[in-house]
Structure 1
Amino acid sequence: MTETVTVWTTVTAPGFHRWPAATGLRSYLADRHRHLFHITAHVAVEHNDRYLEFHDLQDVIRAWWGAGARECGSASCEDLAQDLWNVLEDGYQLSPVRIEVSEDGESGAALTAVD
């Protein structure tokens, strides 16, 4: 078994989105609505001596999210997780292992690296 050391942090940020294709019982989700999104990033590190400081990772996530409530349009939790993954990899040369995005800490999505 190969071990990977990760650090993680969680940021809670307000945002708005909608699911335009929502119908039936969940049709109300087609309208713009607000959540407190809980965003957790797990990033692989190369050694145990603060290769990546937790607070620096929080700053990266907050910069990606932007100030105040973010307008996410029709982006789902899955979309947001993928976008953050790409930002961490491409913009910061970090190695994400897992990204979780939830609506109000109750339900959400996770994007996880597999070997």
Structure 2
Amino acid sequence: MPITVIKSEDEYLRAIKESGITAVEFVAPWDESCKAISPKFQEYSDNPRWKDIHFYKLDICDQQDAAMTAHVDMAPTFHFYRDGAKIKEYVGSSYPALERTMGALVSGH
């Protein structure tokens, strides 16, 4: 499933209310850590293992209001929502840590 780029605060609010698990990657396009992990997040979105997750990306520089609504202070930050409620947050650029977080969510932990 491709990553959908969020282009407004309203789009962000609609995205997090989707049924099932929603993953939002908050990025700053100039940040080296974001540049490093973004391709991996894209790989995850294309991998059938994560077919139950809706993937989104939000540029915190372009969408400052949405980033403030989400209480994001740094990038990269990943928020995970289930049916509108935030269930997990991961801040950082470690592929294994992000994958473990997603695996735990998919398995119901």
TM over 0.5: no
More helix per residue: 2
For Structure 1 versus Structure 2, the TM-score category normalised by the shorter chain is: under 0.3
State which structure, 1 or 2, has the greater radius of gyration over its C-alpha atoms.
1
More strand per residue: 1
Where relative contact order (Cα < 8 A, 6+ residues apart) is larger, the structure is: 2
